[in-house]
Every structure is written in C-alpha cells, then in structure tokens.
C-alpha cells in the first residue's frame, strides 16, 4: 500500500513539473510573425520574428528629410527580455517596453548599446527610469557623454560574453568603422548576428551617416566580423532589411569604393 501511495505522489509531482515546463515554454511562443503598436512614428513600434526567441524591433524617424527605419533586437530568455539598442527616442522606447511586456509577458531586464548615436541610445533615459541594466563598452560611455546622452555601464570591456537565462550572448568590438565605438552582438545558439550600423543592408547604395566614420579602418573591421562569425545564418543591420552573410560582403563593397 505504501509503495502504491508513494508511486501516486511521485506521479502527481511529475505531472505538475511537466505542466510547469510546458507553460514556461509556451509563454515565449508567439504565433504571429509581425506585430505593431502605436498611433504614429512618435510612438510606433514594429516587432518582426526571426525565431521564437529572437525578434527585430523597428522604429522610424525623419532623418535628413526621409522616413528612416532603425533596427534593434529583443531576445526572449528565461530570465526576461534582452534589448539590443533602443529606438530613436524615449517615447518610442516607452512604447516598446509596454508593447513587449504585453506580447511576451516579460520585462526588459538587460540592454546592450552598440554605439552612441541616437538610433542606438536615444531611449536610454527611459531604460534607466525603468531600472533596466544598460551595458556597453568604455568607448561608448565616452561617446555617450560627448553626445549628451546618459551613460551605460561599461561592463562589456571585461565581460563580452553574457549568459542570461537560457541565452548566450557575445559582443565583439572589431575596430572603428561607422563609429569609433561600434560593436556587434552574436546570439550563438541561434546563429543570429546583429551587425548594427557597422553593417549595411543589401539595398543600401552608400555608407550613410559619415559624421563619425573611419573609412580607412571600416573594411578591416567588417573582415574581422566576417571571419569570426562565418557561420552566421541571419545578419541584422542597423537599418533596412536583414539577410545572410551577403550583407557583410555588400558592406565591404560599399566601404572599399
């Protein structure tokens, strides 16, 4: 009788455990591949699925007279959401925080800033107000201060690899290019590379904003990324459509002219 009772108790606990695991898995899976929120570009946000755990967030701003999209990443982990780069400004970032919480049922807990231009760091005030752990490199801290933005924590110099819940993240500084401080972000188990503004989309016909560019060193920096992440299956640029490693080769063509 005791053995039967023990077996039944074990069976109940096992069932509850499996149900808990099932619910944990289900809460990050979103059926839709494209979602949007906001009334106009001042607070409009798009979310596009790469896979169940990696999403691109896209916002728009009027840049040099054109409606310009800017991409970042939201990674869904067991410890919460990881944000790579903010939208252009604080209102868009507030919308992204609210929208991503409603979609994924998780808070943005960690943020990585890939360089100190407004399309990467423009919403940092909102992140800090929401007690998000905002990290970058010491170079980006200096550039952020110079450009009038609040400073992220410069932890990525000494800790370029981050294990956050079930997600492994690696940041890489290949050298100067689009800016003095541009870094890339690698999601190893998903073979997804966020190239940021160091990498151009296939429809880009020029190198874009040249205010802080180092044209001489840009090709070498891209080559380092291409060599390090030759197994990348998805490459996400700072602006425009994502794709394969072809984006890195296209960028090399643009910056080598």
Position 28 scores a pLDDT of 60
CA-nearest of 105, 90, 84 to 192 is 84
Domain count, the chain: 1
Whether 5 maps to a domain, the answer reads no
* pLDDT(4) > 70: no
The mean pLDDT of the chain is 92
Print the domain residue range for 186. 31-255
Position 48 scores a pLDDT of 98
Mean pLDDT, residues 145-158? 98
Say how far apart CA 75 and CA 57 lie, in whole Å: 10
184-187 sheet: strands from edge to edge: 161-164, 167-172, 184-187, 192-196, 234-237
Whether 7 maps to a domain, the answer reads no
Position 257 scores a pLDDT of 83
pLDDT tens digits for 193-230?
999 999 999 999 999 999 999 999 999 999 999 999 99
CATH value at residue 225: 3.60.15.10
* pLDDT(17) > 70: no
pLDDT tens digits for 154-164?
999 999 999 99
Q: What angle do CA 63, 179, 219 make, to 5 degrees?
A: 110
* pLDDT(150) > 90: yes
Whether 105 maps to a domain, the answer reads yes
Position 29 scores a pLDDT of 86
Q: Quick one: what percent of the chain has pLDDT higher than 90?
A: 87
DSSP string, 45-83: EEEEESSSSEEEEEEEEEETTEEEEEEEEEEEETTEEEE
Position 27 scores a pLDDT of 53
Confidence of residue 117 (pLDDT cuts 50, 70, 90): very high
* pLDDT(136) > 80: yes
Q: Which residues contact 23 (CB under 8 A, 6 or more apart)?
A: none
Which residues have a catalytic role annotated? 115, 117, 119, 178, 209
Whether 139 maps to a domain, the answer reads yes
Whether 21 maps to a domain, the answer reads no
Could you tell me how many residues make up the chain?
Answer: 257
Confidence of residue 16 (pLDDT cuts 50, 70, 90): very low
Q: Which residues contact 217 (CB under 8 A, 6 or more apart)?
A: 175, 176, 177
Mean pLDDT, residues 183-191? 98
Whether 76 maps to a domain, the answer reads yes
Contact 107, 129 (CB under 8 A): no
Whether 23 maps to a domain, the answer reads no
* pLDDT(88) > 50: yes
Whether 8 maps to a domain, the answer reads no
Mean pLDDT, residues 173-190? 98
Confidence of residue 15 (pLDDT cuts 50, 70, 90): very low
**Full-model pTM:** 0.90
Percent of residues in the chain assigned helix, strand, coil, to nearest 5: 30, 25, 40
Confidence of residue 21 (pLDDT cuts 50, 70, 90): very low
């Amino acid at each position: 009788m005791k053995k039967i009772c023990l077996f039944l108790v074990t069976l109940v606990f096992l069932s509850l455990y499996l149900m808990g695991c099932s619910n944990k898995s289900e809460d990050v899976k979103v059926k839709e591949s494209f979602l949007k929120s906001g009334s106009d570009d001042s607070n409009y946000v798009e979310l596009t699925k790469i896979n169940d755990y990696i999403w691109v967030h896209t916002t728009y701003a009027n840049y040099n007279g054109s409606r310009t999209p800017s991409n970042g990443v939201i990674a869904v982990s067991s410890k919460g959401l990881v944000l790579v780069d903010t939208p252009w400004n604080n209102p868009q970032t507030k919308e992204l925080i609210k929208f991503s919480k409603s979609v994924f049922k998780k808070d943005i807990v960690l943020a990585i800033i890939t360089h100190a231009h407004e399309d990467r760091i423009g919403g940092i005030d909102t992140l800090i107000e929401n007690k998000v752990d905002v990290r970058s490199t010491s170079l980006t801290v200096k550039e952020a201060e110079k450009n009038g933005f609040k400073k992220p924590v410069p932890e990525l110099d000494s800790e370029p690899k981050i294990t956050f819940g079930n997600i492994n993240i690696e940041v890489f500084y290949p050298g100067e290019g689009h800016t003095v401080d541009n870094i890339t972000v690698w999601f190893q188990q998903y073979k997804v590379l966020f190239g940021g503004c160091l990498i151009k989309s296939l429809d880009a016909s020029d190198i874009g904003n040249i205010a802080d560019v180092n044209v001489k060193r840009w090709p070498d920096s891209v080559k380092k990324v291409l060599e390090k992440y030759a197994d990348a299956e998805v490459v996400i640029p700072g602006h425009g459509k994502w794709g394969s490693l072809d984006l890195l080769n296209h960028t090399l063509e643009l910056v080598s002219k």
